[in-house]
Amino acid sequence: MTIISCLRTVSKPSLISQFSKPKPKPKTQQSSSLVVSSIVMSYDKELAAAKKVASLAARLCLKVQKALLQSDVQSKNDKSPVTVADYGSQALVSFALQKEFPSEPFSLVAEEDSKDLRQDGAQETLERITKLVNETLASDGAYNTSTLSTEDVIRAIDGGKSEGGSHGRHWVLDPIDGTKGFVRGDQYAIALALLDEGKVVLGVLACPNLPLASIVGDNQHSSNNEVGCLFFAQVGAGTYMQSLSGSLPVKVQVTAIENSEEASFFESYEAAHSNRDLSSLIAKVFPLFLCLSFGQ
């Protein structure tokens, strides 16, 4: 599951046109253009909250990755790795979003549930997750809340069990997009999006290990060794990137390169998630610099 597509979707002309370029209507209905304008602007609060909670989750994940212990890695029934950071990230995002919008119906579609954490022998893991969530909340200081119990964290994790739907608002979360990359000490992302009446209206991607210089280039003011990027997009407003430490946003856009030999072509690091034969064929037909992305 990835939210990178959400960052693309909210900037697609076909979707933007539904909001910013309404069809001409009779003069008696001209006020609808004001409604359209308000729709475009109505997600500022949600975007600010999404950036905030994704950055918090990135802080938690980075802390775990730096001191990754073998006991932090469990195995789900489908044999894919699950980490303390996976559960902690989801618990933190779920809890924080509910704090951000206490009077609104809450719906979160996420990957994890607490089933494995309720098993015999998982108490130590659950206590570690709870400690990490509490430490992260305390370090931020934005939420005036008492220390969470293990049961509070269980409830927060299970807050992501919504089935979503085409009506209402639904948050969609991948607590760690790229679990194998995380375990390797490599690239991963915290991916969060908001759907409103079945449409993606915003997306946030927190990449704790992504070098800032690889995105902003040499023309922007940033330390060459600064690491940690936050990408975000809102319908009708384009896509931007800033450092996780809070630098000024930089607009992200498609490169103007016309010579394919100067372009980069990306595919998944995991062979099972891409068609390597097709990628090789494309690279032969159009001379490209082939790269491996971290999406897993």
Q: Which residues are catalytic?
A: 86, 179
Cβ atoms of residues 89 and 60 within 8 Å: yes
Cβ atoms of residues 164 and 154 within 8 Å: no
DSSP string, the chain: --SHHHHHHTT-HHHHHHHHSPPP--GGGTTHHHHHHHHHHTTHHHHHHHHHHHHHHHHHHHHHHHT--GGGEEE-TT--EEEHHHHHHHHHHHHHHHHHSTTS---EE-S--STGGGSTT-HHHHHHHHHHHHHHHHHH--S--PPPPHHHHHHHHHTTB----SSSEEEEEEEEE-HHHHHHTS--EEEEEEEETTEEEEEEEEEEEEETHHHH-TTS---TT-EEEEEEEETTTEEEEEETT-PPPEEE-------GGG-EEEEESSGGGS-HHHHHHHHHHTT-EEEEE---
Question: How many angstroms separate the CA atoms of 137 and 140, rounded?
Answer: 5
